[in-house]
Amino acid sequence: MNDQFNQNDQQPEQERDFAQQPYQPDYYANGQQNPGSQRPDSGWQNYDRQWQSGGSYGYQRGNGPYQWNFDQMHQTDSQNRSPRKKNRGLRVFGAILGSIAGLVLVCFAAYGGYVAVTGNLPQSSQPMEEQQQEQEEVVSVPDVTLEDKPSGDASVSASDGGLANTEIYTKCSPSVVGIVSYLGTSSFGYSDQSQGSGIIMSEDGYIITNAHVVEGAMDLEVVLSTGETYDGVVIGSDTQTDLAVVKIEAENLTAAEFGNSDQLLVGERVVAIGNPGGLQFATSLTVGYVSALNREIAAGDAGYTIECIQTDAAINPGNSGGALINAYGQVVGINSAKIAMEGYEGMGFAIPINDAMPIVTDIITNGKVTGRAMLGITAQQVQLEEAQYYGTPLGLRIYSFVEGADIQAKGAKEGDIITHIQGKPVYSFNESAEILADYEPGDTVTITIYRLDNRGKSSTFDLEIVLMGS
């Protein structure tokens, strides 16, 4: 994942050419405003529990510590014991001990011979706990194939030989789930929650959804189309592409069939299945067409842009993470956002499945998206009003550094403002993400920094830094 930023910061209000800027919908499809809405901190909250010892335990007798008395325990008159019997017992005990020692030596000799000959440790010598741990660390990624259209010809329109809408619903609705995110307890005493949708990726419980559906969730509940409920666990999420993976402990689920979104045509019939308005209207189907392809939409507050499928199939709050399906019953997109402003209607957006699947696979394998270049900082966006009041430039103010970041080693400090990367202005997170998208971890870039010292003296200078990897 790219550099982390303060999600409540807003982009400076500057005049921009609309044609050159990706449109950022006012609302996600689960009804949460974007950007500018106050949302809980993203990610799962991990609670560490520590055992606390209460000191040593002991018995007290009288005014001092109790002293163990072997003779008192046996209550035996030592004069009545037979010295011969005591010596015989010692000899027997010594013989047994010697036999055990000999057996141990033989075992060690055999063990040493095995290691000397094979160079390997016997498999049984490995503790069972370690074997189980190693088995658990091996992640099995679901084998998903993006199927072509049954006609085999991407140029054939969906109206030629496609399924009826009722057939699509029968085939695909069992693969769409409801996701309830419990965000914590409100000041009024009840649990805050948001509701969205998800797509069953595999029979053993991997589910694809949007990152903003699970953002800030302390607990998850997954509801199947049958009404069965399961506890869900977030495997990982990526706010830059608005994708996340949830896992439930279930078997023999109805996994979706995924299609080739690169074969979509403008004007092709598609349907959306999800939970508009939440579980009250669970597993609803709406019908429309592909309105456009490769629409650049800003995903999340970080400003990262993704190319989406535009559709006029109704996508409402709660549809987030649900399925956009072609006429053959193949999932070709993940419903994510809509434009919800007065005067706008029928403009929904879905993430193409061809773009989503590599990210989903990376999340399942590594718990995050890897190989993405980043500066190695957390930052806050300098607001226009702040810049005007204090006389500072626009840019990204460094809040903290990721451990091992080269930018810190090269002399950057907390409070510095990054104004340019490779000579290009970075007045917003969006501009920073767009520039870094052209680079890989390990690449060297030049950043321009504005610094104001304790005496109020300002300076501007360049640093050459090596980009980190996510």
Q: What are phi and psi of 400, to 5 degrees?
A: -160, 175
Q: Where do we find the tokens 């000899």?
A: 91
Q: Does the annotation mark 420 as catalytic? A: no
Determine if the peptide bond prior to 174 is cis (ω within 30°).
no
Catalytic residue among 212, 284, 428, 432: 212
Token output for 398 = 């460094």
Q: Does the annotation mark 320 as catalytic? A: yes
- Residue 438, classed as helix, strand or coil, is coil
Catalytic residue among 237, 291, 320, 432: 320
Amino acid making up residue 264: L
Q: What is the DSSP string of 12-70?
A: ------GGGS-B--SEETTS-BSSS---PPSSPPP-------------EETTEE----H
N- to C-terminal Cα distance for the chain? 5
Q: Does the annotation mark 74 as catalytic? A: no
Neighbours of 278 (CB within 10 A): 19
CA dihedral 275, 278, 281, 285 (to 10 degrees): -20
Catalytic residue among 242, 362, 406, 416: 242
Helices (H), 207-310: 211-214
CA dist 215 and 177 (Å) reads: 17
Is the separation of the CB atoms in 347 and 310 below 8 Å?
yes
Token output for 395 = 């840019």
CA dist 85 and 438 (Å) reads: 89
Of the candidates 198, 239, 179, the residue with the CA atom closest to the CA atom of residue 334: 198
Neighbours of 456 (CB within 10 A): 6
Q: What are phi and psi of 362, to 5 degrees?
A: -65, -40
- Which residues are known to be catalytic? 212, 242, 320
